[in-house]
Structure 1
Amino acid sequence: MIRLSKQQGVALVIVLLVIAMTTIIATQMSGTLMFQQQRTENLESNQQAYWYAMGAEAFAKSVLYADFQENKKVTHLGQRWALGETRFPVDLGEISGEIFDLQACLNLNALGNEETANNNSSVESPGAKPEDEAREGADESAGGSGGGASEPSDADSDRRTGGSKKNSELAKGALKELIISLEVDGIGNFEAESMVDALVDWLDEDNSIVSAGGAEDDDYASKEYPYLAANSKLASVNELRIIEHFTPQVIIALKPYVCVLPNSDMHKININTLDPEDTKLLQALLGGADEGTAQDILSARPEEGFETIGAFSSLPELANVKNINQLKQQFVIDSDYFKLTTKTSFNGSYFTLNSTFMVTKDELVVVNRSIGAH
C-alpha cells in the first residue's frame, strides 16, 4: 500500500507538471498570437496611413496644377496652394497637409555652384554680364521665367537645375547676412563667414579650402569620429549638423529661412511668396537692408503679386538699396519647386510624408519623397 501510494503521488506530480507546462505553452502561444495579430493590425493601419498620405499628395498636385493652369506666369500667396495647413477628417483618423514654396527660402545648394568651385581664386566683378542682362530683360518682359507651358528655354533650364557663379556669390552673401541677423549668441561676422566657407567646401567637388574658415577632408578626418566632406549637394538641411562651424543654435534659427532643392544649385527667390510677417530673409537678400525697407517692400506687393519683375524692380523702396542692380537678379515672380508636408493618422498609426514637386513642361512631377518629420 505504501509503495502504491508513492507511485500515485509521483503520477500526480507528473500530471501537475504536464498541466503546468501545457498552461505555460498555451499562454505563450496565446501571447504570440495576440502579438502577431496586433502587429498585423499595426502594419495594416500604417499602410492605410501611407496611402492616405499618397492620396493627399495626388490632391495637392491637382491643386498646384489648377493654380498653374490659371496663371502660368505668376505664383503668389493668394492662390489655393497657399491656404496653409488643411485638415480632412476620415474614418478612424485624419489627413493634414501644407504646401510650401521652395523658392521662398534660401537654397543652400546654391552656394556650391560648380563654376564657383573651379574658380575660387577669381571673384567676379559685381557688373552684370551681357547674357545676364539679356536674360533679366526677357524676364521683365515675359513676367518671369519658368513655370510656363512651352518648352523650357536654356535660361529656364539653368534656373531650375543650375545657377551661375554670380548667383552663387549672391547666395553666399545672403547666407552670411542671414546668419548675422539671427543674433545667435557668440555669432558675429567672422563666425558667419567661416560657416559659409565651410558649407561651400562641403558642396564643391575639390579638396581645396576656399579660405581660412573653410574645411575639407583633413579637417573632418581628424575628428574623434572621422568622416569626409561630401563634396556634393545637400539632401537635407539637417546635414548642416556635421559641417564645420555650424552650431545647433544656428541651425535651429536658420531652418525657417533655408531649404534644399534636390540636385539643383538654383538661386531664385519668388518675391511674391516671401512670408509677409518675417523680413529677415528679404533683408539678407538685399545685402543687409534695414527691417523697415524690407517691410515696406512686402507691404507694397499687390494682392495677386507682382505681374512682372520690372514692377518689383521699379519700387521706390529699392532706390536706396546698395548694389540693387546686382541684388535684384536673385528675384523672380513665379516658382518651379514646391514642398508638401502631409501628416496622416489612422487607427492609432501615424505617418509623415514630405513630397517635392517641380514644374516642368505643362506638368508637375514629384522629384523627391522623404518619410518622417524634418
Structure 2
Amino acid sequence: MRLSLPPARQHKRQRGAALITALLVVSLATILAVSLVEHLYYDIRRTENILRLDQAQLYNINALEFGMGMLRLDRSKNNDYDTLGEYSIKNEQAYPVTGGQVFAKILDQQGCFNVNRLSKTSSDLPGNRAAFSRLLNNLGIDSALQSTLVDSLVDWLDTDDITEPQGAEFDYYIGLEKPYRTANTLMYSPSELRLVKGYTAKVIERIQPYICALPDANTGININTASAEMIESINGLANQGERIVKDRDGSPESDEDDSPFIKLDDFTNYVKSSLKVKKFDSKGIQVYSEYFLIESNTQLGAGDIRSYNLVYRDQSDGKTRLIRQTRGAL
C-alpha cells in the first residue's frame, strides 16, 4: 500500500522550495549587480584617467609652443647673447589650470659638454677628446678609467670597426651576457651611456649634470652658461672656472650684478687682461646658445605628466624647430 503526505504538508514543502529558489535568484542578482557596479566604477576611473592624460598632453603642447615663442621673442629683441639668468632651473614658472597646475622652464643646452663632439665627424676630435678628459678629471673620475670612457665613447659613435686603445667595438658588446650592437651614430640621449663600456651607474650619476646629447658634432660652448667645471675643461682655462663664474654671475642671491659677456671679443679680452692668459684660442666658444630644453610638467589630480623637448633656435633669424620630444624621462 502506498502512503502519501497530506495536502497541507505537500503545500508547505512546495512553498519552502519556492522560497529557497527566490532567495537564490535574489542572491545571484545581487552579486551580478555588485559586479556591474564595480566594473562601472573602474570604467569611469579609466575614462577619467584617459581624459586627464589627453588634457595634460594638450597643456604640455601649449607649454612647448609658448616656450618656443619666448625663444623667438628673445632673439628678435636683438639680444645676441644668452645667460643663466634667462635659461636656468631657477626660472621655472607655474601656471594654474582647471584641476591642477602646469610647470614649465627653459634650460640652456650649450653650457654642458655635448657627448656627440667625440664623433669622428667633428671638426676637432683631438681637441674634443682632450676637453672631455679634462672634464672627467675635474669631476673626480678615476684617472685609470678616463681613457676607457673617452675611447669607448669614440668607438660607440664612429661607423668603423677599428677599436681605440681602451675602447670597445662590436666584438666586445656581442660577447656580453646580453649582447647588443654598437650604435655607430650620434647619441639621441645621454641615457644611452648606460650601454657604453665603462659607464657605470656611479660614473653616469657624477657626470650627468655636465653633459648633453645634441644632434650636431660641432656645437660650441656658451661661456655665459657653462659651469666652473666645464669652463676649466677648455684649453688654457685650468683653475680659472670659479673666478670666471664669479665675475660673470656676481652674487648668487641677485641678478643685478651679473656681467655676462656680450661679445666673444669681450671674453677674449677678459681672459688676456684679467686672467693674464697670453695665449688663448677662443675656437669652440661662443656667447649665445642655439639648443634649449623646454621641460613641462602638468599635474592634474593624481596624474603627473612630464614632457622634455629639445628645441633648436637659429642664431641668424631666430626661427625655432622641435628636434625631439620624450615623455616621462629625459
TM superposition score normalised by structure 2: 0.87
Give secondary structure in 2 for the equivalent of 1:245.
Answer: coil
User: How is 1:213-228 mapped onto 2 (pairs within 5 angstroms)?
Assistant: 213-228=166-181
Q: CA deviation at 1:110?
A: 1.1
The answer as to whether partners of 1:77 and 1:273 remain within 8 angstroms in 2 is: yes
Match of 1:349 among 297, 303, 307: 303
Partner of 2:208: 255
1:298 matched to 2:245? The reply is yes
Report the Cα offset of residue 10 of structure 1: 3.3
Q: Is the aligned partner of 1:87 residue 2:94?
A: yes
Distance (whole Å) between structure 2 residues aligned to residue 15 and residue 82 of structure 1: 68
Which of the numbers 205, 225, 230 marks the counterpart of 1:273? 225
Q: Which whole-Å CA distance do the structure 2 matches of 1:83 and 1:224 have between them?
A: 43
Q: CA deviation at 1:364?
A: 1.1
Distance in structure 1 (CA, Å) of the matches to 2:57 and 2:259: 35
- The one-letter code matched in structure 1 to 2:172 is D
Pairing of 1:1-374 with structure 2 (within 5 A): 1=5, 2-79=9-86, 84-114=91-121, 163-164=122-123, 166=124, 168-184=125-141, 187-188=142-143, 190-211=144-165, 213-261=166-214, 263-275=215-227, 279-286=228-235, 289-290=238-239, 293-301=240-248, 303=258, 305-314=260-269, 315-316=271-272, 317-320=274-277, 324-325=280-281, 328-360=282-314, 361-374=317-330
Per-residue deviation, residues 321-364 of structure 1 (Å, max 9, x unmatched): 8x732xx2120111111111111111222110111111134411
Give me the whole-angstrom Cα distance separating, in 2, the residues matched to 1:247 and 1:78.
33
**RMSD (Å), alpha carbons:** 2.2
Residue 173 of structure 1 contacts residue 287 of structure 1 at CA under 8 Å; is this kept in 2? no
What's the % identity of the aligned pairs?
Answer: 28
Alignment partners' CA distance in 1, 2:216 and 2:284: 15
On the 8 A contact 1:106/1:267 being kept in 2, the answer is no
Report if the CA contact (8 A) 1:77-1:305 is conserved.
no
Q: Could you tell me how far apart the structure 2 residues matched to 1:56 and 1:70 are?
A: 21
8 Å CA contact 2:311–2:321 kept in 1: the answer is: yes
Deviations 1:276-322 (A, max 9, x none): xxx111112236711xx21222333384622321221122355448x
Could you tell me which runs of 5 or more consecutive residues in structure 1 were left unpaired when the two chains were aligned.
115-162
Q: Distance in 2 between matches of 1:171 and 1:7?
A: 96
Does structure 1 conserve the Cα–Cα contact (< 8 Å) formed by 2:145 and 2:198? yes
Q: Give structure 2 stretches of 5+ with no counterpart.
A: 250-257
Segment drifting more, 236-245 vs 77-86: 77-86
Partner of 1:208, secondary structure, is coil
- Contact 1:106 1:171 (8 Å CA) reproduced: no
1:107–1:260 CA contact under 8 A, matched in 2:
yes
Q: Which deviates further from its counterpart, 299-308 or 221-230?
A: 299-308
Is the CA contact 2:84–2:108 (under 8 Å) kept in the aligned structure 1?
no
Q: Is the 8 A contact 2:297 2:305 kept in 1?
A: yes
